[in-house]
Amino acid sequence: MVLRHLMSPLDLTVEEMDALLSLAGRIEKDPKKYAHVCDGKRLATLFYEPSTRTRLSFEAAMLNLGGTVLGFSSADSSSAAKGESVADTIRVISCYADIAAMRHPKEGAPLVASMHSLIPVINAGDGGHQHPTQTLTDLLTIRELKGGFDGLTIGLCGDLKFGRTVHSLIEALSRYDGLRFKLISPAELKVPSYVKASLKTKGIPYEQSERLDADTMAGLDILYMTRVQKERFFNEDDYIRMKDFYVLDREKLAMAPKDMYILHPLPRVNEISVDVDDDPRAAYFRQARYGVYVRMALIMTLLGIEEPA
């Protein structure tokens, strides 16, 4: 079998992505059927940056498939603290595990690892760059809520500059037909130019705005909120100035379309007020639950595991 990695959502074709989401949907409906497909397989989680959902949902995914897990959850507790390169680390991990998920504060670190690896490497978030498995989670959620992707109007709000989930989601959605984006951010936190350039090349319409109001929310099918990425700021004053730029509360939500679902990759800080959680349009906790099923489907796909009959 050819060794495959997942660095960006574009590493999967649209057909592969749709097949993976469908597999995730089947796993959700009948998880018992998949309980032993990874017996004897091991996942390594190499996390050089904090995580709750991503690491634990990867681990839950492998355990649900009958496999085992090992790994570390911070750079200080690994040999990175002694100066080991990711290239050397992955060479060694390739002898201990069958597949690895890596999160790293430096953009491109999982890609470097994949170039030295004998096992599939999954990018579980690299700095402010990409986060393809969050995107799979987001896509499954949108597909369940809206029935598909074609023709949707998607609003993305918050830190669109450093928010890696935003970059991966825009790239993945850009391959479907008739989408439009509304990019809502402070001027200093706009989407990077490479993301915008790709929208322009594909002729996908997008609007940029600094305001989250009735006008910008009009016509949205999905509002994807994000937190301001504190850990990527050089200057704490800038972070403090921007951290509460957007707060989606009940009052604001009253101005939004009745069929606009709210997604958030989590963790939430202040950008969605807790009083929104009970609104039927709040879909972020459901979204977090889907993270396990897409990661189960991804592990099976990259390990070339056949679906049980």
Binding region for ligand NCD (CB under 6 A): 53-54, 125, 131, 134, 164-165, 226-227, 265-267
Cα 1 to Cα 302: distance, rounded to the nearest angstrom: 10
* Residue 206 CB, nearest approach to ligand NCD (Å): 21
Minimum distance, C-beta of residue 142 to ligand NCD, in the bound complex (Å): 15
In order of 152, 200, 233, 238, the CA distances from 162 in angstroms are: 24, 20, 9, 13
Dist. CA 285–CA 266, nearest whole Å: 9
To 10 degrees, the CA torsion angle through 134, 140, 144, 145?
Answer: 30
Catalytic residue among 103, 104, 161, 264: 103
CB nearest ligand NCD: which residue? 265
In the annotation, is 227 catalytic? Answer: no
Instruction: State which residue, 37 or 69, has the beta carbon closest to ligand NCD.
Output: 69
Contact 296, 290 (CB under 8 A): no
* Residue 250 appears among annotated catalytic residues: no
State the nearest-atom distance from the C-beta of 53 to ligand NCD, in Å.
5
Query: At residue 46, what are phi and psi to the nearest 5 degrees?
Result: -110, 95
Decide if 148 contacts 301 (C-beta within 8 A). no
When the beta carbons of 8 and 134 are compared against ligand NCD, the nearer one is 134
Q: Which of 54, 89, 141, 216 is catalytic?
A: 54
Give the closest residue to 232 by CA, choosing from 224, 222, 242, 223: 242
How far apart are CB 283 and ligand NCD at their closest, in Å?
A: 14
Catalytic option among 42, 55, 131, 227: 131
Contact 43, 63 (CB under 8 A): no
Q: Is 241 a catalytic residue?
A: no
User: Given the complex with ligand NCD, which of 34 and 246 has the nearer CB atom?
Assistant: 246
- 82 carries an active-site annotation: yes
Nearer to ligand NCD, 150 or 231 (CB): 231
Task: Give yes or no: 264 in active site.
Answer: no
Quick one: which of 218, 131, 128 has its CA closest to 182?
218
Q: CB 228 → ligand NCD: shortest distance, Å?
A: 9
Question: Which residue numbers are catalytic?
Answer: 53-54, 82, 103, 131
